[in-house]
Amino acid sequence: MAGLKYDKVRFMVSPGSTVRITLENVDEMMHNMLIVKPETRVSVVKAAETMGERGVEHDFIPKSSNVLESTPLLGPGGQASILFKVPDKETVYPYVCTYPAHGMVMYGAIYATRSPDDLPPLDEDPNIPEQVRNQMAASMSLHPYPRDMPTLTRLFMPESSPAAIAVGMEKEQSYNWDAGYSFLRYVWDGGYIDVANQWDGKAHEVAKIKGDIYYRNTTGFPFRVSHQDSVPQHEFQGYRMIDGYPRFKYDMGDITVSELILPAQTTPGFRIEYVLENVDQPIWYALSDNDEIRVEVSKGTIEGDMVKLTPDQAQEFTISIISEE
């Protein structure tokens, strides 16, 4: 967070879930964050403005039933978290900074929804600040990357071999899959890529990520065959599009792996659906070391930093990775 804006102007949650939201003030001014009831942002901001001199000692949080959760005022370098129990109703919950003169420009929206495809495009979203909508509209007109998701682009990506594949998913999630090494490199939240230079005769340039990386592969090729120290030789065999998403295929010896990466229901987060053919030995799957990440497996058992699967379990399983920041 810097200037009169939050670094994320909207995000999605599942109705009935509980989410932790951490606010870190990297600005030179004081800020807070209030989550308020639908369509009450302006009234809460006006109530905070009437607090006058006594506002600071109360963190400019007005006494109002419209305020659902809040952080205190944070000075430069300050940090605070909110645990928000999302009601079961599908709706939009605004969040806002109520420090004087901030509330009319510094706000965002929590979409509690079971239908993420129904979100409006960022440049048309009435629940985020107008200046952000205008910036998005200008960016889209200047940088011709695809707006419709999912989408796929083969180009040079940071921290990757020349065979990188960028995939923009729904729910503002994107990832980089390295076909040169047959594994996922990293996943980010908040946008896709700025590839304007790809249309300017500079195809050798490295693309810029639009958003924040929250997951990095720290283990390399994740599979082990027979025992947890045995990394198999592997070879990329291409991909096939499934409803707009690539299903990657690669061999590791006699075993054929199909890998499909999709956004998780709770974001930021994603899931990897694996199908393995010709498995007759135990399979180990190495988990990467990332802070504030929750890992869930559909089959097998987690033993330390590995998932152990029997040959039967390894034929079809899912790894889900959810950011808890």
User: In this predicted model, what pLDDT tens digit does every residue of 14-44 receive, in sequence order?
Assistant: 999 999 999 999 887 889 999 999 999 999 9
Which of the four pLDDT bands, split at 50, 70 and 90, describes residue 260? Answer: very high
Question: Can you give the residue ranges of every domain in the chain?
Answer: 10-142, 151-323
Chain position carrying tokens 């989550």: 35
Backbone dihedral region for residue 220 (phi beyond 0: left; psi -120 to 50: alpha; all else: beta):
left
Residues 6+ apart with CB under 8 A from 308: 228, 282, 283, 284, 300, 301, 302
For residue 292, give the nearest of 216, 211, 214 by alpha carbon.
214
Which of the four pLDDT bands, split at 50, 70 and 90, describes residue 253? Answer: very high
For residue 120, give the nearest of 217, 222, 220, 9 by alpha carbon.
9
CA distance 160 to 193: 15
In this predicted structure, the answer to whether residue 135 has a pLDDT above a threshold of 70 is no
Chain position carrying tokens 């152990």: 308
Does the domain spanning 10-142 belong to CATH 2.60.40.420? yes
Backbone angles phi, psi at 42, to 5 degrees: -65, -40
Which of the four pLDDT bands, split at 50, 70 and 90, describes residue 180? Answer: confident
Which range, 13-17, 51-55, 283-287, has the best average confidence (pLDDT)? 283-287
**pLDDT computed for residue 300 by the predictor:** 96
Q: How far is CA 173 from CA 112, 146, 226, in A?
A: 17, 14, 34
User: In this predicted model, what pLDDT tens digit does every residue of 285-314 receive, in sequence order?
Assistant: 999 999 999 999 999 999 999 999 999 999
In this predicted structure, the answer to whether residue 141 has a pLDDT above a threshold of 60 is no
> Mean per-residue pLDDT for 195-221?
74
Minimum mean pLDDT among 6-10, 17-21, 255-259: which range? 6-10
The C-alpha angle with vertex 235 and arms to 232 and 241, in degrees rounded to 5, equals: 125
In this predicted structure, the answer to whether residue 140 has a pLDDT above a threshold of 80 is no
**pLDDT computed for residue 198 by the predictor:** 44
Query: What amino acid occupies position 56?
Result: V
For the record, the structure tokens of 131 come out as 């200046």
Backbone angles phi, psi at 21, to 5 degrees: -120, 125
User: In this predicted model, what pLDDT tens digit does every residue of 72-101 receive, in sequence order?
Assistant: 999 988 999 999 999 999 999 999 999 988
For the record, the structure tokens of 179 come out as 């076909």
> Mean per-residue pLDDT for 94-110?
91
Q: Is the peptide bond before 232 cis (omega within 30 degrees of 0)?
A: no
pTM: 0.56
Residues 6+ apart with CB under 8 A from 237: 249, 250, 251, 256
DSSP string covering 52-74 = GGGGGGGTT----TTEEEEPPPB
On average, the pLDDT of the chain sits at 88
In this predicted structure, the answer to whether residue 123 has a pLDDT above a threshold of 90 is no
Chain position carrying tokens 């946008």: 191
**pLDDT computed for residue 207 by the predictor:** 85
